[in-house]
Chains A and B, each alone.
Chain A
């Protein structure tokens, strides 16, 4: 034949076979990833499309269901009828009752606070609200200044993924599909509580009345994220000629001079009025056996009556807010006042 012996040829054939197998192996080594890459690519496209669908048009928010529900409620009010907006977390949503302000001072207000609502969400709501309303005053309850002030998850990898695919952040949109929200017959009806979360339970505070600690306690620093959003609030209010007021409701089991000093630092720096009701017990005539719903963090209904009575009068006197009672443009407050019958009277 060619001079090569049989054994050599056999060896060569084996070598070639091994070579082929190695090559094949090298191919399969990478080939295993081809289908998964294709699968993942389609998944990325699906997630991206869904992200586009669920992402709010203007602002990113932390709690989408709360944001949409609240904004929807505010949008049901007639344009330019809200004079005062209350914002914050549960301390604010449980405390400020627009119906009481209506009944006592005739102030048209709306509470956009929600439990655990973080500052960026309050800001996002406010940024939308000023497009249809011209509020004169924004009362921001300060407890939320010590909550997180960033919208993404604490898990750094999840936070990255949420930025990449907002559907992972806004996946709870299904919560908006509750029967209440798809009740088309009532779509024009306004929120009868105007954002106030009525709490009927009472659990007294039994601790010391010296809970604020020494006046000169070192200030609890606000986070950079918080300061950033607060500055945005300040600019927004300035741009729309809204008076920003910081308020802390009395919360003996939560508030301290340390937090007070932290908030006051920012308020002084920006010449924003700051009312800490923790320093006004006598003026407000608080009775801590009755005025808190959970042992000193949130107000009970009797507590909110005292706080709103003082605050309503203060707002009316200081910012010359009009009494809209009797004006048909503000009928939604009148009818809500009568419908809920929380405070008695007609609200006219």
Chain B
């Protein structure tokens, strides 16, 4: 049951909302937990066992860390710190081991043993990449006393399995939603309507824009991969598709949470308004970025080996020493990001691509600040085009079945570019003219709304101020746009949410 299926937003979610509201306040968290497990069962069947195993492990180590508040009598601070670090490391490794065994065994096997490795069929439960990160963040926060521990294992399970976030995030930290989940706040009309409005927006992005473009990808990555103009078109389509698919699904998740009065962290903030690639990643998959920044970048930057290395380099060059920390930390962040996306060298390459780009940006930053007026219109246009190219290349590579195909497509842009190929073939990729018109027209709406949002103008708030008949007419029209122009039903293959696969 995916978030954009009618079974979710028109059947499962309303049933849970009604039961939740009828339930006594103090028992509402139990109802939500039950809903989480039912949802997970409906999607992943016995995969729920792995989720429960992750909860038990996290709870066990979380309790251990919580009780290690101060050194016991007779133990010095250093030994105690070491012991606490050991418990935290053991906890993280235990939680990670589930993910590594289930998701990366074949990748590790084939990397170490090459073609002699026989692939093992392993069931990968849905959402494991997401709840594993939540568990790691939970343990780290308790250890560093930045966050509280859950009062009971049931409440921890509630946090780790919250059904709107289990498949694609946002990767929320316990401190962000843990308490909200347990409070059992009643459903209010405002939350209900705002939640469903956000869900509708997500459906618009996912099934009206992304799913109309999806059928073109197969032909673009196979038949037309050696035609430059088609590769450029692929770059545009896959960037729009990933953006709309992922951010649309996140909108549905955040909307579903909102109905229960739970404010979840945002995952996208108008990413194409970013100044550079680094800024882009602070606006795109923000919760993964925040996780990697907090639990990889800073710990690596502040680690003893990196400090020692910085000091060593400083002896020879003060300027070079300034970049040692960021270089190593960024490398670790992007390796983790690449590997997290999936057990494939393509994803590792994707991570390294951004590592190189962002490190170059870090190196050039002082020069840009000193010599270029960032408010100059032509510079801003250049910056936007540059960002689109960087992201487009990244997404083309990200979606490719392998690195060779991606590189062949990129090469074709420079060696075999013919506009006539595009003009004669673009309607024979799968989507018809009407599909492209719907997708691009709707994407233009998203761009306009993003511009307004960037200027802190909210269309939804403006609609809320309208008289009821006008307001309701607006929302009926919005619903009917999704009903009429959605890519579902006859002639369309039901498409999974792209990021659920990670």
Contacts and interface: CB of A to CB of B under 8 A. Distances in A.
A332 B192 CA distance: 60
Contacts of B485: 171, 174
A153 B6 CA distance: 12
B491 A63 contact: yes
Interface in B178-193: 186-189, 192-193
B18 interface: yes
Contact of B433 (A29, A62, A156, A178): A178
Interface in A8-60: 25, 28-29, 32-33, 35-36, 39, 42-43, 46-47, 50
B488 interface: yes
Interface stretch (B225-233, B326-334, B475-483): B475-483
Interface in A158-205: 158, 161-162, 167-169, 171-175, 178
Interface string B419-460: 000000000000011100000000000000000000000000
A28 B7 contact: no
B246 to A, nearest CB: 21
Contacts of B480: 46, 50
A155 interface: yes
Interface in A41-94: 42-43, 46-47, 50, 62-65
A154 interface: yes
B494 interface: yes
Contacts of A158: 5-7, 488-489
Interface residues of A, number: 36
B482 to A, nearest CB: 9
A319 interface: no
Contacts of B186: 25, 28-29, 32
A154 B188 CA distance: 35
Given A43-B479, A154-B494, A161-B10, A35 B189 contact: yes
Contacts of B105: none
Contacts of A156: 7
Given A46-B476, A46-B480, A36 B192 contact: yes
B476 A169 contact: no
B21 A32 contact: yes
A4 interface: no
B470 to A, nearest CB: 14
A151 B18 CA distance: 33
Contacts of B486: 171
B472 interface: yes
B372 interface: no
A309 B134 CA distance: 67
Given A36-B192, A155-B5, A29 B472 contact: no
Interface in B1-38: 5-7, 10-11, 18, 21-22
Given A28-B186, A157-B6, A171-B483, A33 B472 contact: no
Contacts of B18: 33
Given A29-B22, A33-B18, A153 B488 contact: yes
B472 A39 contact: yes
A333 to B, nearest CB: 29
A36 B189 contact: yes
B189 A169 contact: no
A155 B483 contact: no
A47 B483 contact: yes
Nearest to A176: B434
A42 B433 contact: no
Interface string A131-156: 00000000000000000000101111
Contacts of B489: 153, 158, 162, 168-169, 171-172
A124 to B, nearest CB: 13
A65 B491 CA distance: 10
B378 interface: no
Interface size class of B (residues with CB under 8 A): 20 to 34
B484 interface: yes
A63 B490 contact: yes
A175 B186 CA distance: 44
Contacts of B484: 171, 173-174
Task: Name the residue among B5, B21, B485, B489 with the largest chain A CB count within 10 angstroms.
Answer: B489
A92 B432 CA distance: 22
A155 B490 CA distance: 11
B5 to A, nearest CB: 6
A167 B483 CA distance: 8
Task: Name the residue among B476, B485, B490, B494 with the largest chain A CB count within 10 angstroms.
Answer: B490
Given A32-B187, A43-B476, A157 B483 contact: no
A214 B490 CA distance: 36
B434 A174 contact: yes
A259 B489 CA distance: 28
A47 B488 CA distance: 16
A158 B493 CA distance: 13
A36 B21 contact: no
Contacts of A43: 476, 479
Contact of B434 (A32, A167, A178): A178
B209 to A, nearest CB: 16
Nearest to A158: B6
A154 B495 CA distance: 12
B120 to A, nearest CB: 30
A25 B245 CA distance: 39
Contacts of B475: 39
A175 B434 CA distance: 7
A158 B475 CA distance: 21
A32 B7 contact: no
Nearest to B193: A36
A29 B21 contact: yes
Contact of A32 (B192, B479, B483): B192
Contacts of A46: 476, 480
Given A29-B22, A32-B192, A47-B483, A161 B490 contact: no
Contacts of B21: 29, 32-33
Contacts of A63: 490-491
- Give 7 nearest A-B pairs by CB, closest first: A157-B7, A62-B490, A171-B484, A157-B6, A63-B490, A158-B6, A32-B189
Given A151-B490, A167-B483, A171-B483, 9 more contacts: A42-B472, A43-B476, A155-B6, A158-B6, A158-B489, A162-B489, A171-B489, A172-B489, A174-B484
Interface of A: 25, 28-29, 32-33, 35-36, 39, 42-43, 46-47, 50, 62-65, 116, 151, 153-158, 161-162, 167-169, 171-175, 178
20 contacts: A25-B186, A29-B21, A42-B472, A50-B480, A62-B490, A63-B490, A65-B491, A116-B491, A151-B490, A155-B5, A157-B10, A157-B11, A167-B483, A169-B489, A172-B489, A172-B490, A173-B484, A174-B484, A178-B433, A178-B434
